[in-house]
Every structure is written in structure tokens, then in C-alpha cells.
Amino acid sequence: MISRSAILVCFAILLARPVAAQTTAPASPSPGPDQPSIKVGVLIFADYTVQQQPKITDADGNEVTFSTFQITRSYINVTGNITKNIAFRLTPDIARETGVGSSLNGSYTFRLKYAFMQWNLDDHLTPGSFARFGMQQSPWIDFIDSVYRYRFQGQTFEDREGYLPSSDTGATFHYNLPGNYGDVHTGVFNGETFQRAEVNDQKAFQVRGTLRPVPNHAVLKGLRLTGFYDHDAYVKNAERRRAIFGVTFEHPYVHAGFNYLSTTDQTSATRAAIDGRGWTAFVTPRTSIGWEGLFRVDHVEPNRDVAGQKKDRTIGGVAYWFPRQSGITSALMFDVENVKYAAFSPSRPTERRIAVHAMLNF
């Protein structure tokens, strides 16, 4: 058990030290002195969205344009170190309850998003290497979110289309290649995402490898090539596979990326497998005074056996990132999003949403 003096040290550090700012969800806790430390932070995504298409019908039968104020993410991030080599993270998530028949339907409820222990291996391997156990970020989503940076507008492609979760429970190992040439992140997960409990004996094996070809070049050091593979199963002999190849580029004045996705889903050994594919491309031009743009295109073919079936999304927006003050990162964004469907049964109408988004992180 932790002694009373250790607890007092934790709270003293918490009160004396400011919380570090992050532009995305907090990354791995960094090794610190060989003494307990705790940091507390908050991450909030909020927006006002007007759905121009399709129209909806209200309770009185009127055709209206739907609009809503909403909180899409609300994290309380607790991170720290028990010793120099043992770190932890605990992140409860406040989410909207949507269960049919639930007495809490429509309310915000409390659930876990991240809860893991981490063994920092800097003393034994390259700096930034670690082993992690618990509810944690998936290797692909954690990587691509750090490049994209606009999750407060909406999830990245693979997460948004339901192909990969942002968090799951399992054990992983991360290794940084020497010379800043890239990294490898691999692990075994339940495969049911953070939203559901494990239901059988099947586990998901995931591996991501990232190569930085020219890490010492003034400009091209921002170029990275990444491969990802997820092998899982819904039940025995019914596979769920994901493969991604991505190219990303980071520079003080632009972030950009292109990812190609291949999927296989067989929900039962008695059913035929469904093969899908898709791709996404984004570019976020940046200025030195806080103004940034976002241009993104998603294309997915969920079932390649259905001729012409596809879903296309386009996003265009402009954002202002406020100057960081006292460890606080914040941004406002205006964007327009269009989604079109083809060859779906039943048919789906075109969607158009106009929104103002806000992000606060400290």
C-alpha cells in the first residue's frame, strides 16, 4: 500500500506543478524522477451543428432543419509515475447514453476510455520504448491522430467508419528505432473495443510499423511510411481483418496524409466473407499566426461484391488555434461536411452538416 507520506507528496506535486498541454489526447507519460507524481488534465470537444440535409420531421409532423448544441468528448486525464520506470493513465469519458429502453437514455454517463499501467524501457532499450497493459490506445488510431490533429471535428477515417476502435483492452509493446528512423507498436487486444466486454476466446493481434526514410533532412524528416495489420475473428473460423498503408508528412506549415484500407468481415463461419476497401486523403495548411485550413476526402466501398456501392465524404474548414497560455491549448473551427451514398439498400439520402467546433485541452 502507498504510505501516507507518498500520498501527501502526490498531492503536493499536483498543486505545485502546472498541467502540461497537449493538442490531442495525452501521450504516454514520460519518465520522471524516481518518486510518485500525478498530473490532472481536461479535454473537451463541443460544437453547434446544423444538419441542412436531410430534413427531419418533428413530433408534430413538421419538416424542419435539425440543429444541436452538443459535447462530443469530455475527458478527465489522470497521468503520472509511481517510479521512474512505472507510469499510468486513467481517463474516464463522459458519453451520451443511447440505449433503447434505458432510463438514462439521452443523459450523459460515465465510462472508462483509458486505464493502463506502463513500464518505460528507456534504461534497457531506445528512449520512448515501453510495455503497456490495460485499456489503451490502438496502435493505428493513436499514430494517425497525432498527425491529423482535428479529431475535435470528427474521428479519423478508419475509426469513423467503424473499422477500428480508438481504444481496447490488451497488452502491447512499443519500440523506437535508433536514429529516429521510426517505430514499431504491436499488441494483443480483446477486439471488442472499449465500449463492450469480451464475449469469446478470440483475440485481436495488431501491429504497426512506421519508417522515417530521411530523419536528418531539414524538410523530408517529416515524411513517414506506415503499415498496419489487424487480425481478429468475430467467432472461431470467422475472420475480421484490417490492413492499412499510409503516407504522412509533417511540416511547420502543413500536415498531410493518405491512407489506403483493405477489410475482411465474416460474422459467422456459416456466412460468406465481405471484402471492403477505401482510402482517405487530408491536408491541413498552417500559418504562424494560428490560422489553419482543413481539406479531407474519404472514400469507402464497404462491400466490393455490390457493384457501385460507395460512400464519399468531403470536409472543408478553417480553424484558429489560440496562443497557448498557462499550459492551455484551445481552438475554434468552422467547417462544412458532405456525405454521399451510392448503391445502398435501402437508399440513403445525401448528408450536409455545417458546424462550429471548439476544443479545450489542459
**Count: domains in the chain:** 1
User: What is the Cα–Cα distance from 18 to 36, expressed in whole angstroms?
Assistant: 16
- How far does Cα 360 stand from its chain's mean position? 16
What is the torsional sign of CA 324, 325, 329, 335? negative
Strand partners, 94: 110
pLDDT at 24: 43
10: its cell numbers: 502526490
Q: What is the pLDDT along the chain (362 residues), one digit of tens a residue?
A: 444 444 333 434 333 333 333 344 444 555 445 678 999 999 999 999 999 999 999 999 999 999 999 998 899 999 999 998 999 999 998 777 766 666 767 777 878 899 999 999 999 999 999 999 999 999 999 999 999 999 999 999 999 999 999 999 999 999 999 999 999 999 999 998 888 888 999 999 999 999 999 999 999 999 999 999 999 999 999 999 999 999 999 999 999 999 999 999 999 999 999 999 999 999 999 999 999 999 999 999 999 999 999 999 999 999 999 998 888 999 999 999 999 999 999 999 999 999 999 999 99
342: its cell numbers: 451510392
User: What is the Cα–Cα distance from 346 to 334, expressed in whole angstroms?
Assistant: 32
Q: How far is CA 238 from CA 31, 229, 270, 299, 352, in A?
A: 41, 17, 8, 26, 36
* Residue-number span of the structural domain to which 293 is assigned: 4-361
Q: Position 237: which residue type? A: N
pLDDT at 12: 40
Give the CATH number for residue 121.
2.40.160.10
